[in-house]
Structure 1
Amino acid sequence: MDTSTAASSFASSPISTSTSASASALRTVHELFVTSPGTPSPSGVRRLVADSWSRCTACGVRPDGSRLPPLYRTSEELAAYRCGHPLAVVLPLFRELLGAGAADDGHLFAVGDADGTLLWVEGDSAAVRRAERMHFVEGAMWSEAQAGTNAPGTVLEVGHPVQIVAGEHYSSAAHGWSCAAAPVREPGTGRLLGVIDLSGGSTIATPPALAAVRGAALLAEAELARALPSPPAMLGPDGRVPCVSSAGCGTGARLEAGVRLAALGRDSVLLECAGRAHRLSPRHSEIVVSLALEGRGVHGDRLAVDLSEREVPASTLRAEMTRLRAVLGPAVLGSRPYRLLLPVHSDFGEVTSLLAEGRAAEALARYPGPLLPRSEAPAVVEQRRSLEQQLRGAVLAGGDAGQLRRWVSAAWGADDADAWLALAHTLPGGSPQRAAAAARAHALDAAMATPSQVRRHAAVLQRSRS
């Protein structure tokens, strides 16, 4: 493969370099660029990477990895500096969101300051030892000017979340790594405080990894915002303090009422909390419903089983939970185990309670349709079937013509032969509606009806004509 072919091949490929072909193409493009002095801009890589390589060349960074990032602080100086750094307040949050997952997956996470100095580097012990060999350690300077293209350093240059894959690093010393990082800014001023990073193998070169660091940064900013002095409260039209936080329902809001979930007859959950409404994505809807059904909380491995019959990687689930926590806020969604921290009121819970009390008419009136009808999550499917069977059983057992008519008039009951037959039995003899209901029941199951069922339908039709 010539250089131009390798370059064009990688330029059209996704960010992941899991295949040897794309990794080889990156190495070819990198070698061509660093060995061709005067090249204005590399081709065959993402514009983000090309611009970074050009900056690194201008700064005199060595691409062969022969000069590692310097260590600028002694352990004593670093300890004192970290204690007073604004991000020290949110380090426990980073450890909760990213630390355990990084250790479990063989990766590490790092927190750096606005100059690129790594303040904390934690995770899998083997990954930490491997990172030490290229000076990716606490106290090292990983700005672009010192370490070349890398996620934390490039984030500080461009100001937004970045993912750098294997050979996209300018220094060959980092070619065995992939990393994803996001900036953390001071609430109110927007001043850059530092960066949060995940580094490791090929699974870091995936959308969930970038989403994880982005979500962690957003939650850190929300946590920092809560620590700021509160301005004088402005009352809303209802006389309450409105929820104004950009990170869910946790700031300046009344949470005593808990959260309310509307999930019946909808493909996505509408979650209301402290005066704010969130229309969740289908996957987040499945997660919230599963957590509501679990009640006391559930660990990640069990939640993964609730959400899919196929194996869900732990890193993927953690990324989804981080994104969901960024939407709802840490006051609503907890971890270890995952759980909803506030009282939950749901439309499917209300229908279940009404059925348990024998109030079938009210339950039917509050049932706009099946629970997340398009969801295939096992926990949702099981609850959807159970609730529908309970409601159907109550309607059939009640023998009320109005309830039966409402049931068969809905999309989910239109093909229920037993319900149509029960409706025919409740209607007066000789009624055209009775004959129509019996005929509909007969038509629905004629193809698989037994002789006894045929005789039963015929008897109803005969009575309706007499």
Structure 2
Amino acid sequence: MRPEHLDAAVPEPADQRRYTRALASAREAVLAGQRPRVPVRSPIIDSWRRVRRHGLDPDRGRDVEPVSLTEVEWRRQRCGLAGDPWRTLRTGLLPAADSAGHIVVVVDRDGRLLWREGNRAVLRRADRLGFVEGASWGERSVGTNAIGTALVEGRPLHVHATEHYVGTHHPWTCAAAPVHDPRDGRLLGVVDVSGPRETVHPSMLALVSAVAAMAEARLREAHRDQLDRLRAIAAPLLARIPGQALVVDRNGWVAASTGLPPIDRVALPAQLDAQRVWVPAFGDCVLEPLPEGVLLRPGGLQRAASARVVLDLRGPRPQLTVHRDSGSWSYRLSARHADVLAHLADHPEGCSAADLAGHLFADPARTVTVRAEMSRLRKRFGDLLDRRPYRFRPELDVAVLR
């Protein structure tokens, strides 16, 4: 085999049978703990060795039950790829994949399969393999494959035929590329095109990589739009604030500032659920949540501003309005969150997780669910809510309109 094939995405058609046979013998050597006699691409042999250490069955992998469709939908909404990114991936890949006898697959950062579309016959073959929505396609579950190995390697990858660790995957070829959040570089998931190994095409990896880059560009555009909306809120707000202040999104990207030299981004703490936070280069800062961002005022001696909070339950969609010296902001609420906030307003002395579980579910034992809901609320309204016990902060003026 020519040396340039070692790091190529996939061999040329004339070499594919020879490549497949050579890789089969190399895989057998690695399974036996021996050094393979033929060259193997570094991401493949590194993956084989990782998977072997995990103790995965090389013939059939590991039985991992797919998560429920309810959880699949929950993961779709939280993975960062729903909406425009998924439409970009689908539009860019599905026509070519379908005509070539392939399917398009998207997984989240955990390797859970969230979407799949494409050639119907190949979808039926995928069903028999367990390659279905909700399945885990990480290396620990199914061994070396383009999806799981791209998640580990963090780069586009083609895995062909006997490069797969698990024998039942040898009839397949797949090309995958990771998709990252341009705001913070966080891995969101992987997009993949898979099909029978006879349909392999050397350009498929380039296509998948290009479309993944397009999805990231869409995310970048959406972030710019979000900063523009935040900038529109920030301009009148900062005009009324003396001294230094910044309005940033929740990843620390600066929409606007006053009294400070230009800066693109600040390092925010992971949790924005306190009235004061410590920010590198600024020290202690007073924090106020805003729609899609936060207001930071450097200076640890500043007193956190009081506020009037109005919870309006009268319309079809509950709403929370916060009136501060810096401005007034309204937030739409889910029915569950409105119920929690109304209960806290009715009990200014505070509630435990068990109290809230009894109110919400008539089951005081469901404290884990309550804590998850309160964590989400505190991310949005961190300077309004106390914990231990859960309550509105005592200095707030809280009114409920029913």
Instruction: Using structure 2 for the length normalisation, give the TM-score.
Output: 0.51
Paired residue for 2:58? 63
Letter in 2 for 1:170: Y
Percent identity at matched positions?
A: 38
1:155 aligns with 2:150: yes
Find the counterpart in structure 2 of residue 21 from structure 1: 18
Give the corresponding residue for 2:72: 78
Specify whether residues 219 and 42 from structure 1 end up closer, same or farther in structure 2 by C-alpha distance, changes over 3 A only.
farther
- Structure 1 unaligned residues grouped into runs of 5+: 1-5, 234-466
- Structure having the higher Rg: 1
Partner of 2:114 in structure 1? 119
Q: For the residues of structure 2 that align with 1:25 and 1:157, how far apart are their CA atoms?
A: 25
Residue number in structure 2 paired with 1:33: 30
RMSD of aligned Cα (Å): 2.7
Aligned counterparts of 1:189 and 1:49: Cα–Cα separation in 2: 28
Q: Which has the higher helix share?
A: 1
Say yes or no: does 1:180 pair with 2:175.
yes
Q: Does 1:88 align with 2:82?
A: yes
Match of 1:221 among 216, 222, 245: 216
- Letter aligned with residue 198 of structure 1: V
Note if contact 1:155-1:183 (Cα within 8 Å) is conserved in structure 2.
Answer: yes
Contact 1:41–1:50 under 8 Å retained in 2: no
How far 1:94 sits from its partner (Å)?
1.4
Q: What is the DSSP-based 3-state SS (H/G/I as helix, E as strand, rest coil) of the residue aligned with 1:50?
A: helix
1:21 partner amino acid: R
**Residue of structure 2 equivalent to 1:275:** none
2 CA distance for matches of 1:13 and 1:83? 35
Matched, 1:45 2:40: yes
Q: Which residue pairs with 1:410 in the alignment?
A: none
Contact 1:187 / 1:221 at 8 angstroms: preserved in 2? yes
Kept after mapping to 2: 8 A contact 1:10/1:44 = no
Question: Which among 130, 133, 148 is matched to residue 128 of structure 2?
Answer: 133
Query: Are positions 1:146 and 2:126 aligned together?
Result: no
Instruction: Tell me, in whole angstroms, the C-alpha distance in 1 between the residues paired with 2:44 and 2:156.
Output: 13
Going from structure 1 to structure 2, the CA distance change for 1:145 and 1:42 (only over 3 Å counts) comes to farther
Alpha-carbon distance in 1 for matches of 2:78, 2:132 = 19
Return the alpha-carbon distance in structure 1 between the equivalents of residues 6 and 180 of structure 2.
32
Mapped contact 2:66–2:133 kept (Cα < 8 A):
no
- The total of aligned residue pairs comes to 225
Amino acid at match of 1:29: A
Q: Distance in 1 between matches of 2:12 and 2:91?
A: 28
Structure 1 20/154 Cα, relative in aligned 2: closer, same or farther at 3 Å?
same
Q: Note if contact 1:7-1:44 (Cα within 8 Å) is conserved in structure 2.
A: no
Task: Supply the AA of the counterpart residue of 1:75.
Answer: L
- Equivalent in the alignment of 1:344: none
Letter of the aligned partner of 2:227 in structure 1? Answer: S
How far the C-alpha of 1:172 sits from its partner, in A, is 0.8
Deviation at 1:211, TM superposition (A): 1.0
Separation in structure 2 between the aligned mates of residue 197 and residue 16 of structure 1, nearest angstrom: 19
Q: Structure 1, residues 331-357: CA drift from partner, whole Å, max 9, x if none?
A: xxxxxxxxxxxxxxxxxxxxxxxxxxx
Contact 2:26 2:36 in 1 (8 A): no
The 1-side partners of 2:208 and 2:8 are apart by 23
Find out whether 1:210 has 2:220 as its counterpart.
no
Cα deviation for residue 148 of structure 1 reads 0.4
Q: Does 1:102 align with 2:97?
A: yes
Shift, 1:131, TM fit: 1.2
Structure 1 position 84, deviation (Å): 3.5
Q: How does 1:345-364 map to 2 (within 5 A)?
A: none
Cα deviation, 1:383-413, whole Å, max 9, x if unaligned, reads: xxxxxxxxxxxxxxxxxxxxxxxxxxxxxxx
**In structure 1, how many angstroms separate the alpha carbons of the residues matched to 2:78 and 2:40?**
39
1:140–1:114 distance in 2 versus 1, CA, 3 Å: same
**What CA deviation, in whole Å up to 9, does each residue of 1:175-230 have, x standing for no partner?**
01111110100112000000000111347644421111111111111111121223
Q: Write the letter of the residue equivalent to 1:159.
A: G
Distance 2:93 2:211 in 1: 8
Q: 1:42 to 1:72 in 2, by over 3 A?
A: farther
Q: CA deviation at 1:23?
A: 1.6
| Residues 1:230 and 2:199 aligned together | no
**Residue type of the partner of 1:188?**
R
Whole-Å Cα distance in 1 between the matches of residues 5 and 190 of structure 2? 28
Distance 1:94 1:211 in 2: 14
Between the aligned partners of 1:191 and 1:125, the Cα distance in structure 2 is 33
Separation in 1, partners of 2:141, 2:161:
18
CA drift of 1:69 comes to: 5.2
Alignment of 1:257-268 (within 5 A): none
Looking at secondary structure, tell me which structure has more strand per residue: 2
Q: Distance in 2 between matches of 1:8 and 1:155?
A: 23
